[in-house]
Structure 1
Amino acid sequence: MSKYVQVIMNFAKTEEIDRLFTYSIPIHLVSKVEIGQRVRVPFGQGNRTQVAFVIHFLDELPQENYRIKPILELFDEVPLLNVEQVNLARFLVNYYGCTFAMALELILPPGMAKTPYRPLPQTETYICRNISHDALEQHIAKESAKKSFDKQRAILTLFLIEEAIPLSELKRSQEVSGSSLNTLIKKEILRKEERLVTFKPSPIHYQAFKTLNDEQRAARDKIYEAIENPYYQGLLLEGITGSGKTEVFLSAICKVLEEGGSAIVLIPEIALTRQTLMRFRERFGNVVALTHSRMGPGERQRLYQEAKEGNIRVMIGPRSAVFMPMERLRLIVIDEEHEATYKSETTPKYHATDVARRRMMESGGSLILASATPSLESYEQMKSGALALVPLTKRIGGATLPDIQIVDMRRELQNGNMQIISSALHEAIDRTLQAGNQVMLLMNRRGHSTFVNCRNCGYAVKCKHCDIAMTYHRQSGYLECHYCGHKEVIPTTCPSCGSAHIRFFGSGTEKVEEYLEAYFAAFGIGRMDFDTTSGKEGHSKMLAAFQNHEFNVLVGTQMIAKGHDFPDVTLVGIIAADQALYMQDFRSEERTYQLITQTLGRAGRGEKKGEVIIQTYSPDNMVLEKIKYHQQQDFYEEQLKMRKLLGYPPYSHLFSLVVSGKNETEVIQKVHTLKYYYEYYNKKGLFRIVGPAAATISKIADEYRWQLLLMGEEREKVLIYGKYCLNKFINRENTGTIKINWDIDPRSMF
């Protein structure tokens, strides 16, 4: 047995402490300490008791310049992390340059690092009826006249239906009073009883699976081959919208479950969880679970334990679900893999695809990246052979791709139409609704008007704390900043020149909703954006109401574009196709192509023919041309040529630094000094340095922002070089009040 362990301190989020410390194992704990378990140890000169993760065993004592102290005691009954998770933490440290403690905190659900881990209870407390059903009815009838009996009656009524109810279920009910329950137990009308908890997994419901067409079966068989292979394989399931990609990977998951394995399915938006969960539970029953950030810490911790103990075998959720400790994990599916939401914007800034690939490589499993519009990175990997292509080129059930019409909004203005909706789209909405069908409209900006402008002097009302125009929200009646949350009342006169000619310009989802209410209110209008779906069940309620025809026109931001399947939606309108096309980001054309293509894919998914109308001021733009004529391969090939010419990803890796602070002069001076360090240590010229320049949004929350960008072909070298020069700068320079935020392979240039 090993005599020593190396541990990481639970609080080690600074580089000075972020390293392995060696401790001896007392004889009475030698057989009890395991990898991934937490222990209490004395730490520092004062020997303060700290909690640490056991990372590694040692048989021989390393050469250390400090006295080896013994572990004090176990913190967990059983290991909180398994060996695979510890290895995954190591990967996060090396690949994203974060601390070990940050990596471990990322892997665990919120709050779990603070309390000892105990296995799920083997028994559960039930409250049982202690008298016969007839005797209970007589007792209720006898006591009903007493006013003090109301709360007890509410409880006892439940036991007229059920003989025994879990105590945890009773506690969740608002009608159950704890004191009244205790009174009934004391009177021996009810009794407590401990019962063994036995989880019985649902059988696979094969009858719920849909019959696959020839193309789907070919795709399924190719994925089956990968699953049967004991080595890692990555697959790109590229299928046009409505081609039945979900049914294909449902079949793949079924095979994994039949062979005793488990699977993780990542989805990009919480908005998709309800629809996805229903489809999966219909086939796999109670072994399917859903996790997401709007759940409470207790609920997420329970799911973690259920997964760890093998009760959950299919986990669905956004990017954080990739860390779930599934037993015998054999398959990870990343649906809509091109979505930017799979990249975290907070440290550690991981990408779920990288983590998923690493997990499957470690376990010899399979990774499926599914999308109608893959990321350029995935497309290039498919071309190079790193991903096997699994194509789906036809819509299921005989459905065809929708007809696409591009409307030139410049001509609308020439014809005197100053409205947000073109005459062609208005007529199409009316025709669609009169026929009993439904409409989805994409406006990828929330609020009513995107800026307030003086027509006399040109003054635009900007946020006092950010370099961004304030957005008018009709619902709140205020101007709001979408970056810092600052609110202001709407000015009646121009703050600059005093003119009364101050007007609203630009459009958001509220403005589209206002237009629709003026003309189509009788058909029901719904709006789906951050403002209307902020509650825990906000997305689900909105989508369920639309599916049930409680309203028939749904206007929303990009959250309406992905994965939704409504057979009665026959018209999709893209209100402002140019919105993201000319942003200062080399990915703007790729993102616009993906967003519009995904949105138009919502039309005509059933037996009814679909129609799409795209409104634009740039009808001859290459991106819109490729979308109209379904020339996806041509679009991707042209984008790759341009990226290669400019040296952008996927042919290079980026290291982005944003220097920010409240003193603009200091920020500018420091970012130029920082650039000098990168130039000095770039003697071999391996890296390209771009900038510094003011960030696209140059001020947020009273902090000025400047950006510096590094490029190189080898990711590991880019990361080492980026961090090395930054550390030299921090250690040698007086950084003052500035902050430096860095990222490797960022997905946003803002």
Structure 2
Amino acid sequence: MSKYVQVIMNFAKTEEIDRLFTYSIPIHLAQKVSIGQRVKVPFGQGNRTQVAFVIHLLDNLTEENYRIKPILELFDEEPLLSLEQVNLARFLVNYYGCTFAMALELILPPGMAKTPYRPLPETETYICRGLSLNDLEKYIAKESTKKSFDKQRAILTLFMMEEAISLEELKKSQEVSPSSLNTLIKKEILRKEERLKVFIPNPIAYDAFKVLNEEQQMAKDKIYQAIESPYYKGVLLEGVTGSGKTEVFLTAICKVLEEGGSAIVLIPEIALTRQTLMRFRERFGNVVALTHSRMGSGERQRLYQEAKEGKIRVMIGPRSAVFMPMVDLKLIVIDEEHEATYKSETTPKYHATDVARRRMIGCGGTLILASATPSLESYYQMQEGELELVPLTKRIGGATLPYVQIVDMRRELQNGNMQIISGALHEAIERTLIAGNQVMLLINRRGHSTFINCRNCGYVVKCKHCDIAMTYHRQSGYLECHYCGHKEMIPTICPSCGSSHIRFFGSGTEKVEEYLQNYFGAYGIGRMDFDTTSGKEGHSKVLEAFQKHDFNVLVGTQMIAKGHDFPDVTLVGIIAADQALYLQDFRSEERTYQLITQTLGRAGRGDKKGEVIIQTYSPENMVLEKIKYNQQQAFYEDQLKVRKLLGYPPYTHLFSLVVSGKNETEVIQKVHTLKYYYEYYNKKGLFRIVGPAAATISKIADEYRWQLIMMGVEREKVLIYGKYCLNKFINRENTGTIKINWDIDPRSMF
């Protein structure tokens, strides 16, 4: 019987309190306290009551040179966290350098850390007939002449067919008036009854599975071998767009469910949830659930509890779904694994792939990383034998890869075409729509015009609070900053020289939409970007309308590039292929390759031949050449050679610091002092220090930003060194008003 507990305080998000505290267990609680449970304890000199997570149970203490306070009472009826989740929190602390309390809060759904955990209610309220069927018919006949009876009749008609209906179902019906329902209950025509909840999982719908082709069958067999292994296995499912990767991992999930296990499927965007959920529910029914950040906290807490109780066996969602407490978790699939959205930009800055790998190692399960364009890190791990390659090289159903044409926009200008759409793309759109097919156009920038420029003096209208050009949004009629949200009226004269030669330059989704409306409005034009999908069902509404041909041309940002399957899309246009090619980021070529390849994969996925037109001002660029001629392996090999030569990931690990503040002089002074600390403690020369330099976006929301980067081969040493030097700086220097934001293995260099 354990006599003591070691706990982490619920509020311990600072390093001073981020440690284990020991308490004794009163005799009356000895049989009730478990790891993962929360308890109330007296804390500090004032013995204020605080909530804490139980991390360890101890029979004895090695030292007792201080007074041990007792637990006051339980906060939860049963453990909120499993032992596996507590161990996962330890991993987050060690791997990402966050506090224990931050890790635990990350694992839990929003709001759950503050409320007591109780099991889901085992009963639910039903409304039942209070009369026999004959007596109910007589009552309806008697009351039917009354004008006020219509709403009651609508309710009673339901009970002529059903003896009992759950109150939850009745509330969802628009025909049911709450006041009329209460009236019928008071008259004892209907009655309330509490019934035991019985969850009956739907059987697997084997008929819904598609017949696999030879290549898919080989992939399935390899993945089955991984699942059958008692040890962790990592698989890289690399398949060209339209090769049927989803069908392969659906069969893998089927095997896991047959053996009593559960699975998590991660997707990069909320935009993909509707399509993915439909496919999975068709095969696995009510054991499939969806979670994402736009759901209410209550809904997400309910899903957490249902997963913990084993009712949900397949959980789908963006990166936070990786923490769901699935029972007997045996498989995690990360679809479009190359996407940057799997890396969190808020503390703790975890990467879902790392967390998934850790969970599968702990469970002896299988991790499937699926992509047509794997991340360079995954490709390197495959070469090193850490991931088993499972390739899919052909599109299903005899479909072929689309024909790719590269249009030199410099020639368009020489020929007098000043429009955003080239002549070749315009003609292709017209040809496609006349044939009854659909078009998708990518321009990875929202708004109408990306900047406003004075032709007289060259002045560019920038945000007053950020070092970034203001974007014109035609819909709102304002200039907007996409970083701080600041809005301004459009100037009529140049603020610098007073000239009236102010012009719009650059293009975004709104400008492309405007062009399309002018020429192809009769076919229906849709737009998909942050501005049109901000609501809870925003993504679904746009995609559903496109699926039903409510409109036939869809223009959007990178949201449209990922995983969508529309058989009538035969033309894809890349409006501005150069936008991301020349950013100050060593991953810019990799990201451009992935984005364009994924987008062109939307064309010709059915039995119709696809066509892709890429507009660029640098057609000779190596990335575009490799895309046009489908030379993916050559692209990856070239990139790895460059990364190795420059000492960048995946051959090294990065520790990035951004020093920011409202006083530019102070920021520059402090970041140079901080560099001195890193140089001083780098006596063995294990680490390479780059910078300091002004960040790519040097000012955001009135704060100046400078960046300092450390590189090293061993990740653990990079993290320890990075945090150690930073803590020395903070403890010894007057940091003034500056803020320091750090990240280990960042995916963005901005």
TM-score range, shorter chain: over 0.9
Q: Which position in structure 2 is the counterpart of 1:186?
A: 186
Distance 2:34 2:558 in 1: 46
Distance 1:65 1:615, change over 3 A: farther
Q: Which moved more, 1:410-419 or 1:183-192?
A: 183-192
Q: Which position in structure 1 is the counterpart of 2:680?
A: 680
Q: Which moved more, 1:168-177 or 1:89-98?
A: 168-177
Q: Which position in structure 2 is the counterpart of 1:544?
A: 544
- 1:278-320: CA deviations, max 9, x gaps? 1111111111111000100011011001100001101000000
Q: Which position in structure 2 is the counterpart of 1:469?
A: 469
Tell me by how many angstroms 1:162 deviates: 3.6
SS at match of 1:78: coil
Question: What letter matches 2:599 in structure 1?
Answer: T
- 1:411-462: CA deviations, max 9, x gaps? 0000000000000000000001111111100010000000011111111111
Question: What letter matches 1:389 in structure 2?
Answer: L
Q: Which position in structure 2 is the counterpart of 1:101?
A: 101
Question: What letter matches 1:466 in structure 2?
Answer: C
Tell me by how many angstroms 1:131 deviates: 2.1
Tell me by how many angstroms 1:470 deviates: 0.6
SS at match of 1:69: coil
Distance 2:676 2:296 in 1: 47
Counting only pairs closer than 5 Å after superposition, residues 279-678 of structure 1 correspond to structure 2 as: 279-678=279-678
Identical residues among aligned pairs (%)? 88
Question: What letter matches 1:707 in structure 2?
Answer: Q
Distance 1:430 1:49, change over 3 A: same
Please state if 1:273 is matched with 2:252: no
Distance 1:142 1:469, change over 3 A: farther
- 1:318-376: CA deviations, max 9, x gaps? 00000000000000000000000000000000000000000000010000000000000
Q: Which position in structure 2 is the counterpart of 1:11?
A: 11
Question: What letter matches 1:79 in structure 2?
Answer: P
Distance 1:575 1:299 in 2: 40
Tell me by how many angstroms 1:2 deviates: 1.2
Distance 2:136 2:39 in 1: 52
Question: What letter matches 1:247 in structure 2?
Answer: E
Distance 1:36 1:498, change over 3 A: same
Tell me by how many angstroms 1:132 deviates: 3.6
Tell me by how many angstroms 1:164 deviates: 2.0
Q: Which moved more, 1:285-294 or 1:172-181?
A: 172-181
Q: Which position in structure 2 is the counterpart of 1:20?
A: 20
- 1:495-547: CA deviations, max 9, x gaps? 22222111110000000000000111111111000100111111111111111
Q: Which position in structure 1 is the counterpart of 2:86?
A: 86
- State TM-score, norm by structure 1: 0.98
Q: Which position in structure 2 is the counterpart of 1:691?
A: 691
Tell me by how many angstroms 1:62 deviates: 3.6
Distance 2:239 2:122 in 1: 45
SS at match of 1:551: coil
- 1:440-496: CA deviations, max 9, x gaps? 000100000000111111111111111101101111111111001111111112122
Distance 1:47 1:673 in 2: 41
SS at match of 1:70: coil
Question: What letter matches 1:12 in structure 2?
Answer: A
Q: Which position in structure 2 is the counterpart of 1:746?
A: 746
Q: Which position in structure 2 is the counterpart of 1:226?
A: 226
Distance 2:324 2:284 in 1: 19
Distance 1:357 1:254 in 2: 21
Q: Which position in structure 1 is the counterpart of 2:127?
A: 127
Distance 1:407 1:102 in 2: 50
Figure out how many residues of one structure are paired with residues of the other and give that number.
750
Distance 1:438 1:246 in 2: 23
Tell me by how many angstroms 1:176 deviates: 4.9
Question: What letter matches 2:55 in structure 1?
Answer: I
- 1:662-695: CA deviations, max 9, x gaps? 1111111111111111111111111111111110
Distance 1:163 1:293 in 2: 38
Question: What letter matches 2:520 in structure 1?
Answer: F
SS at match of 2:49: strand
Question: What letter matches 2:702 in structure 1?
Answer: D
Tell me by how many angstroms 1:142 deviates: 5.1
SS at match of 1:235: strand
Question: What letter matches 1:296 in structure 2?
Answer: G
SS at match of 1:292: coil
Distance 1:144 1:706 in 2: 77
Distance 2:263 2:463 in 1: 46
Question: What letter matches 1:536 in structure 2?
Answer: K
Distance 2:15 2:118 in 1: 31
Structure 1 residue runs of 5 or longer lacking an equivalent are none
Question: What letter matches 1:574 in structure 2?
Answer: I
Please state if 1:252 is matched with 2:269: no
